[in-house]
Structure 1
Amino acid sequence: MIVENVLSENYAEMLKVWENSVRATHDFITDEDIEFFKPIIIEHAFPAVTLRCVKNEFGAIIGFLGVHEQKIEMLFILNEARGQGVGKLLLSYAVNKLAATSVDVNEQNPQAVGFYQHVGFKVVSRSPLDDMGKPFPILHMKL
């Protein structure tokens, strides 16, 4: 597996990975929430970050990462590809190549919280609402 650059032509495929991952790991998010976030992600979030991806042997994106100003803004793995080292590879790339030292994680996603804690991130603060003002508590973590 190698980490590759992302082109804007990849956004639609990445949005499918995002939705697949969110449905598998964020059981607190509704279908309405997903539909609300989709245009924001593809139109605003993707263009605002440095994006990298990992593809499978067939050239399909199975995971991606977005970093902005040393903060991991997004890291999503296709559910079928979880547990195969894709997340670890992308996280290592974020820390070692993009100098990422912080991440915000949904408190209600204990697998993600544990993933980041396992590699040394610590919770430094908590917000009761997400950036959109929705009632999804966020843990602010730093290396």
Structure 2
Amino acid sequence: MIIEIKKTDYPILMDIWGSAVLNTHDFLKQEDFLYYKEHLPAYFQYVALYGCEQDGRLVGFIGVAENNIEMLFIHNDYRKKVLARS
């Protein structure tokens, strides 16, 4: 199910982001990871955020601005899996 993200969801988005980046961005240096981790919540205000729920759990999110996808992250536990449609 696709939902609109609320500010109270930000900690979950950070967990999803960390899981996705640590498992897919092997080119990213540790100091870069830490930089983006610190600044990511500030970037959320510049995009419309939508989440993907699976069995009542937020498992991914997308950030859209001016008809562009600016962020797209799926928790590593759900990568390469077919998500159920609701």
Give the RMSD, CA atoms, in angstroms: 1.5
Aligned letter for 1:83?
K
Give the Cα–Cα distance (whole angstroms) in 1 for the partners of residues 82 and 70 of structure 2: 19
Unaligned runs of 5+ in 1: 90-143
Cα distance, 1:40 vs. partner? 1.5
What stretches of structure 2 of length at least 5 have no aligned partner?
none
Q: TM-score, normalised by structure 2?
A: 0.88
* Structure-2 residue corresponding to 1:49: 47
Among residues 65, 70, 86, which one is paired with 2:62 in the alignment?
65
Q: Tell me, in whole angstroms, the C-alpha distance in 2 between the residues paired with 1:34 and 1:80.
A: 20
- Structure with the larger RCO, 1 or 2 (CA within 8 Å, 6+ apart): 2
Q: Per-residue deviation at 1:61?
A: 1.4
Aligned CA distance change for structure 1 residues 85 and 50 (closer, same or farther; 3 Å)? farther
Q: What is the CA–CA distance in structure 2 between the aligned matches of 1:34 and 1:25, rounded to whole Å?
A: 12
> Which string of whole-angstrom CA distances, capped at 9 and with x for unpartnered residues, describes residues 95-121 of structure 1?
xxxxxxxxxxxxxxxxxxxxxxxxxxx
Question: Is the radius of gyration larger for structure 1 or structure 2?
Answer: 1
1:15 aligns with 2:18: no
- Give the deviation of 1:84 after TM superposition: 2.1
- Whether 1:77 aligns to 2:74 is yes
